[in-house]
Each structure stands twice: as structure tokens, then as C-alpha cells.
Amino acid sequence: MGSQKATRFVSGRPFLQIPGPTLVPERVVRAMSQPLIDHRGPKFAALLKEVLEGLKWIFQTREGQIVLYPGSGTGAWEACVVNTLSPGDRVLGCVNGHFSTLFCRAAAAFGIQVEPLEVPYGVGIPAEQVEERLRSDTNRHIKAVLVVHNETSTGVASNIAAIRRALERAGHPALLLVDAVSSLASIDFRFDEWRVDVALTGAQKGLMLPPGIAILAVSRRAIEASRSARCSRSFWDWTPVLERNAHGEFPSTPATAHFFGLKESLTMLNEEGLPAVFRRHARLAEACRHAVRAMGLDLLAQNPDHYSNTLTAVCLPVGFDSDAFVTHAQRSLEISLGIGLGKVKGKVFRIGHLGNLNELDLLGALAGVDMTLKSFGVPVPVGAGLTAAENYLLQTAPNIDTSAP
């Protein structure tokens, strides 16, 4: 061992600044490290009850039911589609980036006819266009509207409340199916108030767990729709999950250790309080955007009303390949940044700032971005981004008296 050339040793905190998976807090790691319990026993039943209640609180729902599977966001897309739709159904697919494209593709794979409502990367889904499209569907053929709340490829958060109002104004009965993978537990998400029919997510972003669980909140209307939905389904069928959950069990083996972790992460979110969690994410995101602007770089997101509070997609100047930049950042400082995806591959990199993150974590990440930009040859004024972020954080600090001499 001693003489073998191992992979490079890295001391200190890992800078996993991709927009998920996020760093798992120590408390969650410890909770997950306990001995496994029988997933058909009374202890697990009690744990499940607690976790389901906690998730309802996170989705801000009393009406909705929670459905969990071993899996990830991609599995949750499939669960959402196969339980609510039938082959040949038409849906309005809102597309403004890579993940919304894939969500629609998941539906198309089951024979769903997806009518795309496509806007450029960097733009939020315009509610008025949703309304227009639904109004023109006079025979009410469209069964559902598919939309990604926070498009992780672009750093754009669409306004789901406005999209719900668009459905209402059009008087259209379509189901509202929302991907909340990179927003839930970081950006305000109101399942009941926005009358969302299915909201889906994974464990590995705002919930601060390792990847491994697909999570859905489903409305009464969505459960009704599942009774007549004819897409083939077996593992992803939510009916047996809901039935067995009522008795504290699952139809197959759940990701037991993740339930320990989820209980702990829900406790942490509860200790901080949801409004404070949202405020923290908003403040760190704004500090990041201040830094990017001060570096002289452009955000991919166009409209401040749609800026994402969980990640920032940054455009590199023409002539620089962002994939190569991300590799360079990894090699030189061991910081992991998100690559450009879909139509902006090679053009943007993404800074994740969600989950278990504080001011100094963000500043460390921004220092890493700053240094690697410089060593990559991008003409940035070194330190300008950090100064801008620090000043913003000082001006908005809840606990620091900035008037002190």
C-alpha cells in the first residue's frame, strides 16, 4: 500500500458544488449508520408514519398522499406518468431545458403524445402561453400539463402558482404534474395551495440524503386518474404502495437506511424552519449571482423573477469550453461543478448552492470558481467575485452588526 501510487489524497471538506447530489450532513450520515431494522416490523411502521408526515409538511400538503420507492428522480418521472396517463393521451409538455426535455421523453416512451410548449434555455415557462394552449384545446383532449419547477440545467425556476392560475383561467381540467427535484426543501413549494396533482423529487438534493429514494406527492384527482390510467406498470404502480403503507409496510423492500436518514434530515429542516430554509437558499443564491456578475460573466437565466435559488448556470465567454473548465476545476482544486447539459453543453457551467450549505461553504466554492477560472485562462479580476459576495452577505447578515467600527 505504502509504495503504491494511490489516487490523490485530498484533505479538508469536499467541495461537491454540483446541483445535487449534495453533501450529506454528519447528523444524517450518523443516523443512517445504525443497524438495520425489520422493514415489516413495528419499529419500521412507526418510522414510516413519521417520515410520511414529515414529507407532507415539506410538500406543504394536508390533502396529498406521499408515495416512496427505491429510486431517483428519473424513476419518479416514470411513476408519475404510468400512474396517471394512458398510451395515446395528449399532454402539454413545458420544455425550457434538459430535464424538462427528459421528463417529456419519459412520457413519450409510454406512447403519450406530448405537445411541446418550448421556450429557450434560460427562460421560465410563460404562464400566459400555457393558458393560450389550453384555451385552444376546446375538446379538452389534453390530459395533463408537465412542468419542471426548477430547471436544473439552466438555473431557472418557473412560477407554478401562475401556471395553476393559467389552468384555472382556461377552465381546463388537465392534471398538473410538476417535477420538484431540485426545488423541494430549498425553494418554496406549495402542493395544496397551487393544487398540484403530482409533485415528484429525489432524496439527494434539498433533502440532503444520498441518492436512493424517489418521492411523490399525489392529489386525490391523481389517485382517481390512476384508476383508469392504462400505462403498463408493475414496480411503479402506486396502488399497492399506498395500500401497504396504510399498514406500515411496502410491497417490496424499502431503502431502510434512507428512512433513518430522512427522519434526521426532516428533523434538521424542522429545527431551522421552512421559511428560514427558503430565506437561506435565496440569500446564498443572490450572493452567488453578485459574485458571477462581478467576475464579468453572464448568467444563463434571463429574468430575475425566474432566478433559481438552488443553482446558478454561468456562461463562459466564447472560445472557452465549459466541459473542459469543469474537468480543470476538478483536477486543479478538487471542486466539482456542474457541466453544461443539452443545448448548452460546453457553454455553461453550474454552481450548486443547495442543501446543507452556509455562507462560508458558498464563499469557499466561489473562491474555487474564481481561482480555476483564472488558471483556465478566463480573464476575470481575481477576488472581485468574492468581494461582491462577501459584501452582499454582510449587508444582508441576520446576525452581524455591520455598523460596528
DSSP 8-state class, residue 307: B
Stretch that binds ligand PLP, among 57-65, 174-182, 190-198, 242-250 (CB under 6 A): 174-182
State which residue, 179 or 188, has the beta carbon closest to ligand PLP: 179
Q: Contacting ligand PLP (CB under 6 A), which of 54, 64, 73, 155?
A: 73
What residues from 146 to 165 belong to the interface with ligand PLP (CB under 6 A)?
148, 152
State which residue, 20 or 54, has the beta carbon closest to ligand PLP: 20
State which residue, 281 or 290, has the beta carbon closest to ligand PLP: 281
Question: ∠ at Cα 42 (211, 271), nearest 5°?
Answer: 50
Q: Is 338 in the site for ligand PLP (CB under 6 A)?
A: no
The residue assigned the cell 393559467 is 166
Query: Helices in 234-273 by DSSP H: which ranges?
Result: 238-245, 256-272
112, 91 Cβ separation under 8 angstroms: yes
Q: Contacting ligand PLP (CB under 6 A), which of 54, 155, 202, 368?
A: 202
Q: Contacting ligand PLP (CB under 6 A), which of 99, 121, 194, 325?
A: 99
Using CB atoms within 10 A of its CB, is residue 281 exposed (0-12), middle (13-18) or buried (19+)? buried
Please tell me the count of residues contacting ligand PLP according to CB under 6 A: 11
Residue partners of 204: CB distance under 8 A and separation at least 6: 20, 21, 22, 72, 210, 211, 212
Question: Cα separation of 372 and 101, whole Å?
Answer: 31
Q: Is 267 in the site for ligand PLP (CB under 6 A)?
A: no
Stretch that binds ligand PLP, among 41-49, 67-75, 105-113, 264-272 (CB under 6 A): 67-75
State which residue, 206 or 385, has the beta carbon closest to ligand PLP: 206
State which residue, 179 or 197, has the beta carbon closest to ligand PLP: 179
Q: Contacting ligand PLP (CB under 6 A), which of 15, 20, 81, 260?
A: 20
Q: What is the CA radius of gyration of the chain?
A: 22
Instruction: Give Cα separations from 310 to 45, 155, 168, 214, 325 (angstroms).
Output: 33, 8, 29, 19, 21
Residue ranges binding ligand PLP (CB under 6 A): 20, 72-74, 99, 148, 152, 179, 181-182, 202
